[in-house]
Amino acid sequence: MAQIHPPSPRRHKGARKNIRLSRNLEVEVLYEDKWLLAVNKPAGLLIANESWERTQRNLMRLLQDGIEKWAHWAVSRGLRFLKNVHRLDAPTTGVLLLAKSKPALRSFSELFRRRAVEKIHCALVAGAPKSENFDITLPLASHPKIAGRMIVDAKQENPHTPHVDVLDCKGFSVLVRVKPLTGRTHQIRVQLAAVGLPIIGDSLCGSGDAPRNSRLQLHAAQLTFDHPFTRKQLTITAPIPSDFRCRRDWAGHFTIDSRSPRAATAGKCQNPFFLVR
C-alpha cells in the first residue's frame, strides 16, 4: 500500500499567524520559533492527554486533530508534533508553551523541572490583604480522598512558597500578582483561598464573590526563561483577556516589570478592610 504523506509546508502571503481550530475558536499565538509555539490559552479548555479526556474541550486533542487532518495552520508550519510543556487549569487563561519536537519537549520541560522559569500570574480576589506584598508559606499535599485535588497540609516539610504583590483594588475586589516557584496542581487557587483571598469565580476552592456566569479570574500573564536553543532570555506575555472582570485601567498591570509593583495604598484604596503594614 502506498504511503500517504502530508502536503509540503507552504507559507501564504498574508496568512494569519493565529490558530483557528473551529469556526468559533481561534487561539492567539504569542510567540513562535522553530522549536517552540506559545499560545494564549482560552478559558474553558482542558490541557489533558487523549487517554484522559476525549472531548471538544480538550485543547491538546483539538490541536492533534488539526495536525492529523492536515489543517492549514499545521501544514503551513510543517508540524507533525506538538505537545504541551506544562499545564494550566481548564478555566485559567494565559501563556501556554507547546514544543514542536520531542527533543524540544525534553529541553523545555527540563527548565520547569529545574524551576528555571519565572512565572507571573494575575488574579482578581475577594478579601482583605494585610500587606501589599507577602509570601504564602503553606505546604501542599494531595487530597486523601479526591484524585487530582490539592489541600494545605501542615505536616508536609517543604512549603510551596509563592510571592504575592497587591497591585490595586476597586471596591471589594483586589488585583494581585502571584509568582509561584513550583507548578503544583491548583497551587495558586488553594493557597490564596487558605489565606482568606479566594479567587473570584473559583468554584473549586470557594470564592467570596462568584457572580453568575463568572469564570475563574486567574490569568497566566507572563513567562521568562533562558531559551535552551538560542541561549537568549525570552519573556512571553499574554494580554489581559476580554472577559476578565476588572476595570480597563488595570490592564497595564499585566505587563509591568515584576520588580516594581504599583501596589495599592490605604489612602487610595476603596476597600475599607485593606491595610498596608
Quick one: cell of 234? 525570552
Instruction: For the full predicted model, state whether its pTM sits above 0.85.
Output: no
Q: What is the pLDDT of residue 216?
A: 86
- DSSP 8-state code for residue 67: H
What distance lies between CA 206 and its chain's CA centroid?
A: 19
| Positions in the chain whose pLDDT score sits under 70 | 1-16, 49-56, 138-160, 170-172, 183-186, 204-214, 244-277
SS3 of residue 106 by DSSP: helix
Convert 138-189 into a string of H (helix), E (strand) and C (coil).
ECEEECCCCCCCEEECCCCCCCECCEEEEEEEECCEEEEEEECCCCCCCHHH
Q: In whole angstroms, how far apart are CA 67 and each of 21, 103, 220, 251?
A: 11, 19, 26, 34
The full set of domains in the chain, from first to last, is 16-114 (3.30.2350.10), 118-272 (3.30.2350.10)
| Per-residue burial over 235-259, b = 16 or more CB atoms within 10 Å of its CB, e = otherwise | ebbbbbbeebebeeebeebbebeee
**Closest to 162 in 3D by CA, of 141, 133, 204, 202:** 133
pLDDT computed for residue 264 by the predictor: 35
Mark whether 33 is an active-site residue: no
Which position among 33, 65, 89, 209 bears the catalytic label?
89
